[in-house]
Amino acid sequence: MIAVGLYVHVPFCRTRCGYCDFNAYAGLDDLAPRYVRALAAEASLVAPAWGDARFTTVFVGGGTPTTLPPTSLERLLAELRAILPIDDDAEVTIEANPETVDEGSLGRLRAAGYRRLSLGAQSFDRVVLARLERGHDPDAVGRAVRAARRAGFDNVNLDLIYGVDGEGLASWRETLRATIALGPEHVSAYALTIEPATPLGRQVADGLRPAPDPDVQADMYEQACELLGAAGYRHYEVSNWARPGFECRHNLGYWRRHPYLGLGAGAHSARGPARWWNLRPPRAYLASVEAGSPPVGGAEELTSEQIELEERFLRLRTREGVAPDGLDPAVVDGLVDAGLLERAPAGLIPTERGLLLVNELVLALVPQRPRAPATAG
Protein backbone atom coordinates (compact mmCIF):
# COMPACT_ATOMS: atom_id res chain seq x y z
CA MET A 1 0.00 0.00 0.00
CA ILE A 2 1.26 3.48 -0.75
CA ALA A 3 0.47 6.55 1.36
CA VAL A 4 -1.27 9.19 -0.74
CA GLY A 5 -2.61 12.71 -0.12
CA LEU A 6 -6.05 13.65 -1.42
CA TYR A 7 -6.70 17.24 -2.52
CA VAL A 8 -10.28 18.31 -3.26
CA HIS A 9 -10.77 21.63 -5.00
CA VAL A 10 -13.88 23.77 -4.42
CA PRO A 11 -13.67 26.73 -6.83
CA PHE A 12 -16.42 28.94 -5.39
CA CYS A 13 -15.91 32.23 -3.55
CA ARG A 14 -18.35 34.92 -2.42
CA THR A 15 -16.30 37.64 -4.09
CA ARG A 16 -13.11 37.64 -6.08
CA CYS A 17 -10.01 39.21 -4.46
CA GLY A 18 -8.00 41.40 -6.83
CA TYR A 19 -4.65 39.69 -6.15
CA CYS A 20 -5.86 36.10 -6.52
CA ASP A 21 -4.90 33.86 -9.42
CA PHE A 22 -6.30 30.64 -7.96
CA ASN A 23 -8.90 28.71 -9.90
CA ALA A 24 -11.72 30.42 -8.03
CA TYR A 25 -14.93 32.15 -9.13
CA ALA A 26 -17.59 34.37 -7.64
CA GLY A 27 -21.16 34.06 -8.90
CA LEU A 28 -21.09 30.38 -9.87
CA ASP A 29 -22.96 29.17 -6.79
CA ASP A 30 -25.75 27.76 -8.96
CA LEU A 31 -23.24 25.09 -10.08
CA ALA A 32 -22.47 23.98 -6.52
CA PRO A 33 -24.92 21.04 -6.17
CA ARG A 34 -23.79 19.57 -9.50
CA TYR A 35 -20.17 20.18 -8.58
CA VAL A 36 -20.37 18.29 -5.28
CA ARG A 37 -22.00 15.34 -7.07
CA ALA A 38 -19.25 15.51 -9.71
CA LEU A 39 -16.49 15.31 -7.07
CA ALA A 40 -17.90 11.99 -5.85
CA ALA A 41 -18.40 10.81 -9.45
CA GLU A 42 -14.79 11.70 -10.28
CA ALA A 43 -13.59 9.80 -7.20
CA SER A 44 -15.49 6.73 -8.45
CA LEU A 45 -14.00 7.12 -11.94
CA VAL A 46 -10.41 7.23 -10.70
CA ALA A 47 -10.67 4.88 -7.67
CA PRO A 48 -9.63 1.71 -9.59
CA ALA A 49 -6.30 3.33 -10.48
CA TRP A 50 -5.61 3.92 -6.78
CA GLY A 51 -6.49 0.44 -5.52
CA ASP A 52 -3.06 0.07 -3.90
CA ALA A 53 -3.33 3.40 -2.05
CA ARG A 54 -4.36 4.46 1.38
CA PHE A 55 -5.15 8.12 1.75
CA THR A 56 -3.45 9.50 4.86
CA THR A 57 -4.47 13.14 4.40
CA VAL A 58 -7.40 14.99 2.85
CA PHE A 59 -7.28 18.71 2.08
CA VAL A 60 -10.48 20.42 0.95
CA GLY A 61 -9.28 23.72 -0.45
CA GLY A 62 -10.24 26.39 -2.90
CA GLY A 63 -11.65 28.83 -3.54
CA THR A 64 -13.63 28.94 -0.34
CA PRO A 65 -15.02 25.48 0.46
CA THR A 66 -17.21 26.91 3.23
CA THR A 67 -19.30 28.79 0.68
CA LEU A 68 -20.89 25.34 0.33
CA PRO A 69 -23.57 24.58 2.93
CA PRO A 70 -22.49 22.27 5.79
CA THR A 71 -24.87 19.59 4.47
CA SER A 72 -22.91 19.43 1.19
CA LEU A 73 -19.55 19.31 2.98
CA GLU A 74 -20.79 16.55 5.31
CA ARG A 75 -22.03 14.51 2.37
CA LEU A 76 -18.87 15.15 0.36
CA LEU A 77 -16.55 13.74 3.02
CA ALA A 78 -18.85 10.78 3.73
CA GLU A 79 -19.01 9.92 0.02
CA LEU A 80 -15.25 10.25 -0.46
CA ARG A 81 -14.71 7.94 2.52
CA ALA A 82 -17.12 5.41 1.00
CA ILE A 83 -15.34 5.48 -2.38
CA LEU A 84 -11.65 5.87 -1.49
CA PRO A 85 -9.61 4.10 1.24
CA ILE A 86 -9.16 7.11 3.55
CA ASP A 87 -7.45 6.26 6.85
CA ASP A 88 -9.65 6.57 9.94
CA ASP A 89 -7.04 8.84 11.51
CA ALA A 90 -6.32 10.84 8.34
CA GLU A 91 -5.53 14.52 8.74
CA VAL A 92 -8.62 16.14 7.18
CA THR A 93 -8.26 19.87 6.56
CA ILE A 94 -10.86 22.31 5.32
CA GLU A 95 -10.11 25.86 4.24
CA ALA A 96 -12.50 28.61 5.28
CA ASN A 97 -12.79 32.35 5.23
CA PRO A 98 -13.72 33.85 8.60
CA GLU A 99 -16.95 35.43 7.38
CA THR A 100 -18.28 32.10 6.05
CA VAL A 101 -18.32 30.14 9.32
CA ASP A 102 -19.93 30.24 12.75
CA GLU A 103 -20.07 27.89 15.69
CA GLY A 104 -23.04 26.03 14.25
CA SER A 105 -21.48 25.32 10.84
CA LEU A 106 -18.08 24.52 12.34
CA GLY A 107 -19.66 22.12 14.84
CA ARG A 108 -21.26 20.23 11.97
CA LEU A 109 -17.98 20.11 10.03
CA ARG A 110 -16.09 18.85 13.07
CA ALA A 111 -18.72 16.17 13.70
CA ALA A 112 -18.52 15.16 10.03
CA GLY A 113 -14.80 14.40 10.41
CA TYR A 114 -13.00 17.58 9.36
CA ARG A 115 -10.21 17.77 11.94
CA ARG A 116 -8.08 20.72 10.88
CA LEU A 117 -9.35 24.20 10.02
CA SER A 118 -7.33 26.59 7.87
CA LEU A 119 -8.65 30.13 8.09
CA GLY A 120 -7.81 32.85 5.56
CA ALA A 121 -7.05 35.61 8.09
CA GLN A 122 -4.49 37.45 5.89
CA SER A 123 -4.14 40.52 8.16
CA PHE A 124 -5.49 42.16 11.32
CA ASP A 125 -5.21 45.61 9.76
CA ARG A 126 -8.52 46.71 8.22
CA VAL A 127 -6.73 48.95 5.69
CA VAL A 128 -4.70 45.97 4.48
CA LEU A 129 -7.80 43.76 4.35
CA ALA A 130 -9.56 46.43 2.28
CA ARG A 131 -6.59 46.67 -0.11
CA LEU A 132 -6.72 42.89 -0.50
CA GLU A 133 -10.49 43.17 -1.12
CA ARG A 134 -11.17 40.62 1.58
CA GLY A 135 -14.72 40.23 2.78
CA HIS A 136 -14.01 40.28 6.53
CA ASP A 137 -12.84 42.71 9.19
CA PRO A 138 -10.10 41.89 11.73
CA ASP A 139 -12.61 41.01 14.49
CA ALA A 140 -14.08 38.27 12.33
CA VAL A 141 -10.86 36.25 12.60
CA GLY A 142 -11.01 36.14 16.40
CA ARG A 143 -14.70 35.27 16.28
CA ALA A 144 -13.99 32.42 13.85
CA VAL A 145 -11.11 31.03 15.94
CA ARG A 146 -13.17 31.11 19.13
CA ALA A 147 -16.09 29.47 17.32
CA ALA A 148 -13.72 26.79 16.01
CA ARG A 149 -12.48 26.05 19.54
CA ARG A 150 -16.03 25.77 20.88
CA ALA A 151 -16.84 23.50 17.93
CA GLY A 152 -13.98 21.17 18.94
CA PHE A 153 -11.22 22.07 16.46
CA ASP A 154 -7.86 21.63 18.23
CA ASN A 155 -5.81 22.12 15.06
CA VAL A 156 -6.25 25.57 13.50
CA ASN A 157 -4.11 27.34 10.93
CA LEU A 158 -4.17 31.05 10.15
CA ASP A 159 -3.06 32.14 6.68
CA LEU A 160 -1.38 35.56 6.51
CA ILE A 161 -0.17 37.74 3.63
CA TYR A 162 2.50 40.41 4.02
CA GLY A 163 3.93 43.18 1.89
CA VAL A 164 0.63 44.71 0.78
CA ASP A 165 0.82 48.30 -0.34
CA GLY A 166 0.11 50.55 2.64
CA GLU A 167 1.25 47.93 5.15
CA GLY A 168 4.25 49.05 7.18
CA LEU A 169 6.44 47.05 9.51
CA ALA A 170 4.43 48.23 12.53
CA SER A 171 1.18 47.00 11.00
CA TRP A 172 2.71 43.61 10.17
CA ARG A 173 4.11 43.30 13.68
CA GLU A 174 0.61 43.95 15.07
CA THR A 175 -0.81 41.30 12.74
CA LEU A 176 1.77 38.80 14.02
CA ARG A 177 1.00 39.74 17.64
CA ALA A 178 -2.75 39.39 17.08
CA THR A 179 -2.17 36.03 15.39
CA ILE A 180 -0.06 34.72 18.26
CA ALA A 181 -2.62 36.00 20.80
CA LEU A 182 -5.27 33.79 19.20
CA GLY A 183 -3.05 30.74 19.74
CA PRO A 184 -3.39 28.84 16.44
CA GLU A 185 -1.41 25.61 16.17
CA HIS A 186 -0.10 26.59 12.74
CA VAL A 187 0.65 29.81 10.86
CA SER A 188 1.29 30.23 7.13
CA ALA A 189 2.72 33.61 6.12
CA TYR A 190 3.13 34.39 2.43
CA ALA A 191 4.79 37.37 0.81
CA LEU A 192 2.31 39.00 -1.57
CA THR A 193 3.28 38.23 -5.14
CA ILE A 194 1.89 40.15 -8.09
CA GLU A 195 0.36 37.88 -10.72
CA PRO A 196 0.15 39.70 -14.07
CA ALA A 197 -3.23 38.27 -15.09
CA THR A 198 -5.07 39.59 -12.02
CA PRO A 199 -6.75 42.99 -11.49
CA LEU A 200 -3.98 43.90 -9.04
CA GLY A 201 -1.34 42.79 -11.56
CA ARG A 202 -2.87 45.10 -14.18
CA GLN A 203 -3.04 48.00 -11.71
CA VAL A 204 0.64 47.54 -10.88
CA ALA A 205 1.52 47.31 -14.58
CA ASP A 206 -0.41 50.55 -15.22
CA GLY A 207 1.40 52.30 -12.37
CA LEU A 208 -1.82 52.70 -10.36
CA ARG A 209 -0.54 50.64 -7.42
CA PRO A 210 3.05 50.07 -6.29
CA ALA A 211 4.64 46.64 -6.52
CA PRO A 212 5.67 45.13 -3.17
CA ASP A 213 9.10 46.27 -2.02
CA PRO A 214 11.28 43.13 -1.70
CA ASP A 215 13.45 44.74 1.01
CA VAL A 216 10.38 45.53 3.12
CA GLN A 217 9.06 42.01 2.55
CA ALA A 218 12.43 40.59 3.64
CA ASP A 219 12.20 42.65 6.85
CA MET A 220 8.66 41.37 7.37
CA TYR A 221 9.84 37.79 6.89
CA GLU A 222 12.50 38.36 9.54
CA GLN A 223 9.87 39.77 11.91
CA ALA A 224 7.75 36.68 11.35
CA CYS A 225 10.75 34.42 12.08
CA GLU A 226 11.51 36.40 15.24
CA LEU A 227 8.03 36.74 16.71
CA LEU A 228 6.67 33.33 15.75
CA GLY A 229 9.91 31.66 16.83
CA ALA A 230 9.80 33.43 20.21
CA ALA A 231 6.20 32.28 20.63
CA GLY A 232 7.19 28.62 20.21
CA TYR A 233 6.38 28.05 16.55
CA ARG A 234 8.90 25.99 14.60
CA HIS A 235 9.73 27.35 11.15
CA TYR A 236 9.57 24.14 9.14
CA GLU A 237 9.07 25.39 5.57
CA VAL A 238 9.68 28.70 3.77
CA SER A 239 6.21 30.06 4.60
CA ASN A 240 5.06 27.75 7.39
CA TRP A 241 5.39 27.66 11.17
CA ALA A 242 3.84 25.15 13.56
CA ARG A 243 3.74 24.15 17.17
CA PRO A 244 5.62 20.84 17.53
CA GLY A 245 3.53 18.00 16.14
CA PHE A 246 1.16 20.30 14.22
CA GLU A 247 3.10 20.55 10.95
CA CYS A 248 0.66 20.15 8.04
CA ARG A 249 0.99 16.49 7.07
CA HIS A 250 -0.72 17.09 3.74
CA ASN A 251 1.69 19.78 2.61
CA LEU A 252 4.67 17.82 3.95
CA GLY A 253 3.58 15.12 1.50
CA TYR A 254 4.00 17.56 -1.41
CA TRP A 255 7.43 18.65 -0.22
CA ARG A 256 8.53 15.03 0.28
CA ARG A 257 7.25 14.29 -3.21
CA HIS A 258 4.76 11.69 -2.07
CA PRO A 259 1.96 10.80 -4.50
CA TYR A 260 -1.23 12.81 -4.42
CA LEU A 261 -4.61 12.67 -6.11
CA GLY A 262 -6.43 15.90 -6.91
CA LEU A 263 -10.19 15.96 -7.46
CA GLY A 264 -12.08 18.93 -8.86
CA ALA A 265 -11.63 21.65 -11.47
CA GLY A 266 -7.96 22.30 -12.22
CA ALA A 267 -6.72 19.95 -9.49
CA HIS A 268 -3.28 18.42 -9.98
CA SER A 269 -2.22 14.82 -9.31
CA ALA A 270 1.16 13.11 -9.21
CA ARG A 271 2.39 9.58 -8.89
CA GLY A 272 5.95 8.44 -9.58
CA PRO A 273 7.18 10.18 -12.70
CA ALA A 274 3.65 11.06 -13.89
CA ARG A 275 1.85 14.34 -13.29
CA TRP A 276 -1.52 15.32 -14.63
CA TRP A 277 -4.10 18.00 -14.07
CA ASN A 278 -7.81 18.44 -14.51
CA LEU A 279 -9.68 20.77 -16.82
CA ARG A 280 -9.66 24.16 -15.16
CA PRO A 281 -13.01 25.81 -16.03
CA PRO A 282 -15.69 24.39 -13.71
CA ARG A 283 -18.22 23.96 -16.54
CA ALA A 284 -15.74 22.00 -18.68
CA TYR A 285 -14.86 19.87 -15.67
CA LEU A 286 -18.55 19.16 -15.00
CA ALA A 287 -19.26 18.30 -18.64
CA SER A 288 -16.44 15.75 -18.68
CA VAL A 289 -17.31 14.04 -15.40
CA GLU A 290 -21.03 14.00 -16.18
CA ALA A 291 -20.22 12.30 -19.51
CA GLY A 292 -18.34 9.62 -17.55
CA SER A 293 -14.81 10.66 -18.59
CA PRO A 294 -11.93 11.45 -16.25
CA PRO A 295 -11.64 15.25 -16.59
CA VAL A 296 -7.93 15.29 -17.38
CA GLY A 297 -6.74 18.48 -19.08
CA GLY A 298 -3.05 17.62 -19.50
CA ALA A 299 -0.24 15.33 -18.38
CA GLU A 300 3.53 15.05 -18.37
CA GLU A 301 6.14 12.49 -17.41
CA LEU A 302 9.31 13.57 -15.64
CA THR A 303 12.72 12.12 -16.43
CA SER A 304 14.75 10.63 -13.59
CA GLU A 305 17.01 13.69 -13.71
CA GLN A 306 14.01 16.04 -13.40
CA ILE A 307 12.71 14.00 -10.47
CA GLU A 308 16.03 14.23 -8.69
CA LEU A 309 16.18 18.01 -9.20
CA GLU A 310 12.60 18.46 -8.10
CA GLU A 311 13.21 16.41 -4.94
CA ARG A 312 16.18 18.56 -4.08
CA PHE A 313 14.29 21.77 -4.79
CA LEU A 314 11.32 20.71 -2.65
CA ARG A 315 13.47 19.52 0.24
CA LEU A 316 15.39 22.80 0.27
CA ARG A 317 12.08 24.55 0.97
CA THR A 318 11.94 22.71 4.30
CA ARG A 319 14.22 22.30 7.29
CA GLU A 320 14.57 18.61 6.35
CA GLY A 321 17.34 19.65 3.99
CA VAL A 322 19.32 17.61 1.49
CA ALA A 323 22.12 15.05 1.49
CA PRO A 324 25.46 16.54 0.40
CA ASP A 325 26.14 13.67 -2.07
CA GLY A 326 26.71 14.89 -5.57
CA LEU A 327 26.91 18.58 -4.61
CA ASP A 328 29.98 20.65 -5.38
CA PRO A 329 31.85 20.90 -2.01
CA ALA A 330 33.17 24.38 -2.87
CA VAL A 331 29.64 25.66 -3.57
CA VAL A 332 28.38 24.08 -0.34
CA ASP A 333 31.24 25.67 1.64
CA GLY A 334 30.38 29.06 0.12
CA LEU A 335 26.69 28.72 1.06
CA VAL A 336 27.59 27.64 4.61
CA ASP A 337 29.98 30.61 4.92
CA ALA A 338 27.27 32.94 3.58
CA GLY A 339 24.91 31.73 6.32
CA LEU A 340 22.41 30.15 3.93
CA LEU A 341 23.07 26.50 4.79
CA GLU A 342 24.09 24.70 7.94
CA ARG A 343 25.54 21.24 8.34
CA ALA A 344 23.51 18.86 10.50
CA PRO A 345 23.55 15.09 11.06
CA ALA A 346 20.57 14.81 8.68
CA GLY A 347 22.40 16.68 5.89
CA LEU A 348 22.49 20.26 4.73
CA ILE A 349 19.69 22.34 6.23
CA PRO A 350 18.69 25.81 5.01
CA THR A 351 19.01 28.51 7.67
CA GLU A 352 16.17 31.01 8.08
CA ARG A 353 18.06 33.32 5.75
CA GLY A 354 18.50 30.37 3.37
CA LEU A 355 14.72 29.81 3.39
CA LEU A 356 14.18 33.49 2.59
CA LEU A 357 16.61 33.19 -0.32
CA VAL A 358 15.53 29.68 -1.29
CA ASN A 359 15.49 30.42 -5.01
CA GLU A 360 19.09 31.62 -4.95
CA LEU A 361 19.99 28.59 -2.84
CA VAL A 362 18.41 26.22 -5.32
CA LEU A 363 20.02 27.93 -8.30
CA ALA A 364 23.42 27.63 -6.63
CA LEU A 365 22.94 23.94 -5.89
CA VAL A 366 21.26 22.71 -9.04
CA PRO A 367 21.93 23.58 -12.66
CA GLN A 368 18.29 24.41 -13.38
CA ARG A 369 15.22 24.98 -11.28
CA PRO A 370 12.30 22.60 -11.85
CA ARG A 371 8.70 23.59 -11.25
CA ALA A 372 7.09 22.85 -7.90
CA PRO A 373 3.73 21.07 -7.91
CA ALA A 374 0.81 23.47 -7.69
CA THR A 375 -0.97 23.71 -4.35
CA ALA A 376 -4.19 25.51 -4.87
CA GLY A 377 -6.14 27.27 -2.20
- The three-point CA angle 142-147-152 to 5° equals 130
CB of 20 to ligand SF4, least distance (A): 3
DSSP three-state, residue 196: coil
Contacting ligand SF4 (CB under 6 A), which of 97, 100, 171, 179?
Answer: 97
Euclidean distance between CA atoms 114 and 74, whole angstroms: 9
Considering the rule CB under 6 A, would residue 13 count as an interface residue with ligand SF4? Answer: yes
> Which residue lies nearer to ligand SF4 by CB, 309 or 376?
376
61 forms part of the interface with ligand SF4 (CB under 6 A): no
Q: Which of these ranges, 19-27, 150-158, 241-249, 305-313, lies near ligand SF4 under the rule CB under 6 A? A: 19-27
119 binds ligand SF4 (CB under 6 A): no
> How many Å apart are CA 265 and CA 118, to the nearest integer?
20
Which listed range, 9-17, 179-187, 277-285, 311-319, lies at the site for ligand SF4 (CB under 6 A)? 9-17
Q: Is 84 in the site for ligand SF4 (CB under 6 A)?
A: no
Q: Which is nearer to ligand SF4, 61 or 70 (CB)?
A: 61
Given candidates 24, 43, 147, 160, which one binds ligand SF4 under the rule CB under 6 A?
A: 24
With CB under 6 A as the contact rule, which of the stretches 13-21, 181-189, 233-241, 347-355 interacts with ligand SF4? 13-21
**Residue 202 CB contacts under 8 Å (≥ 6 apart), including other chains:** 196
Q: Where are the alpha helices (DSSP H) in the chain?
A: 32-46, 70-83, 103-112, 126-131, 138-151, 169-182, 199-205, 214-230, 249-255, 282-290, 304-316, 329-337, 352-356, 358-365
Work out whether 62 is an interface residue with ligand SF4 (CB under 6 A). Answer: yes
**Residue closer to ligand SF4, measured from CB, 63 or 295:** 63
Question: What angle do the packed helices 214-230 and 169-182 form, to 10 degrees?
Answer: 30
Nearer to ligand SF4, 56 or 188 (CB): 188
CA 317 to chain centre: 14
Query: Got the DSSP string for 161-181?
Result: EE--TT--HHHHHHHHHHHHH
Q: Of the candidates 7, 22, 246, 255, which one interacts with ligand SF4 according to CB under 6 A?
A: 22
Query: What whole-number distance in Å separates Cα of residue 197 and Cα of residue 303?
Result: 31
Q: Which residues bind ligand SF4 (CB under 6 A)?
A: 13, 16-17, 20, 22, 24, 62-64, 97, 120
